[in-house]
Amino acid sequence: MKMKKSWKVIFTAILVIVLAFGVNIIVSFASQRDELLNKSKQTDQQINETKEDISEIKQDMSQVMKEVQELVVQISEYENQITELDTQIGDIQTNIETTTEKLAKTEKDLEEKQKLLDERLVALYESGSTRYIDVLLNSKGITDFISNYYLIEELAEHDTELIETVRKTKQEIEETKKQLEESKQQLETAKQEQVAKQNALAVVRDEKTAKVANLSTEEKKLEAQLSQFEKDKQQIYSELASLSAPSNSSSGGSTQNYPPSNPSSSGYIFPIPGLSKSNISNRSFPSYPGHDGVDININVVGKSVVAVKSGTVVQSTAVRNADGSYRSYGEYVTIDHHDGTRTLYAHLRAGSRTVSPGQTVSQGQVIGTVGSTGNSTGDHLHFGVFLTKNGGASVYAVNPLNYLP
């Protein structure tokens, strides 16, 4: 019995010890689990915060990229304005030179006429009391009278004309001097405006440089492409303005035509047969800074591109890098419609252009195929409409949607 009691005591003691340690172990495990859960929550929170930071950075970078893009366009606009001011200053200076020469010639002419008039007045003064009536009364017969009469009439008319000519010449000189002063004032204003534009350009360029420094490598590459695209556009605009488009050029070889249907009030048809404005995902203009047309990009793969109106091809070429790869508009065509408008068809498929510069095209004639050459992320047609300004010295883009049916 004692032995059994002894085992019971030992067993009870062991049980108590095990339970005591077990509770501590359970408590310890529970504490560790809570600690791990807290650490996990903290880690999750840190991850989420990091994700938010990354998202904010991406948003900030996208905003910076957008600002850089706007600055690129602004720089291009300033450069255009400065170029136009250069032309204006040159025209004014030419006008000043022409006016100055005209003034010198008119003043010399006045000097000669004034000298002639002075001599005539002196002659009249030296003739003393002789008057036209005395000459008539001293005539020797009717024939002499008539002869003297016509002589006097011619002299009087000559004197009157000479006086009037001198008066008009003096007035012309005054007006020419006034024009000259106005031209000089215009020249000074244009030069001041040019300096202001150049200063503004320098500020914007510095701002762009500072922002570009904060871009990622990939965005810097994109920025360089955007800058090059703007340069290419301005070169194309310059060529578009300077190229002549004869209205009687030959039509070239065989052509494929789509029957014109439902032209707009401007006489334009849609540039992709069978499609309409509903095939343009973004119908705002400009859809982003510097975008000079609309992108027809829904259900366009493999579709033909046609001339929206009859006219003459002024450009049919491609913009390429030194390695032969496409950039900017890629494969493109421009057409002069001889109504003050020119149209642009860009990013055409490689090798699909069917027209050449100087060629006459009819409305609905196929000029190429929708593609994705140049600065493009997918098949679409970049369609633009241009009007001339400064007497045809340059061109500017307008909203194409206003011309399409």
pLDDT tens readout for residues 84-140: 777 778 878 888 888 788 778 877 877 776 676 666 556 555 554 445 555 445 555
Q: Is the pLDDT of residue 312 over 90?
A: yes
Q: Which two tokens stand for residue 116?
A: 């002639």
Q: Which two tokens stand for residue 3?
A: 């032995």
- Residue 342, φ and ψ in degrees, nearest 5: -135, 145
Q: Partners of 342 in the beta sheet?
A: 336, 386
| 8-state DSSP, 322 | T
CA nearest 334: which of 265, 283, 405, 385? 385
What would the mean pLDDT of 186-190 be, rounded to a whole number?
A: 83
Please confirm whether the linkage preceding 405 is cis (ω < 30° from 0).
no
For residue 263, what are the CA distances in angstroms to 282, 309, 364, 381, 404? 22, 9, 11, 19, 8
- The pLDDT confidence band at residue 177, using thresholds 50, 70 and 90, is confident
What would the mean pLDDT of 44-52 be, rounded to a whole number?
A: 45
Tokens 């307008």 found at = 398
- Residue 387, φ and ψ in degrees, nearest 5: -115, 160
Q: Which CATH superfamily is domain 248-402 in?
A: Glucose Permease (Domain IIA) (2.70.70.10)
Higher pLDDT, 166 or 348: 348
Counting every residue written for the chain, the total comes to 405
For the chain, how far is it from start to end, CA to CA, in angstroms?
Answer: 114
- Cβ atoms 183, 95 nearer than 8 A: yes
Q: Is the pLDDT of residue 26 over 90?
A: no
Q: Is the pLDDT of residue 37 over 70?
A: no
Rg (CA), the chain: 43
Q: Is the pLDDT of residue 383 over 60?
A: yes
**One-letter amino acid of 158:** H
Residues 6+ apart with CB under 8 A from 182: none
CA distance 75 to 201: 6
Q: Is the pLDDT of residue 66 over 50?
A: yes
CA nearest 344: which of 381, 376, 390? 381
Q: Is the pLDDT of residue 203 over 90?
A: no
Summarised one tens digit per residue, pLDDT across range 228-269 is: 777 777 777 767 666 655 544 555 555 677 777 788 888 999
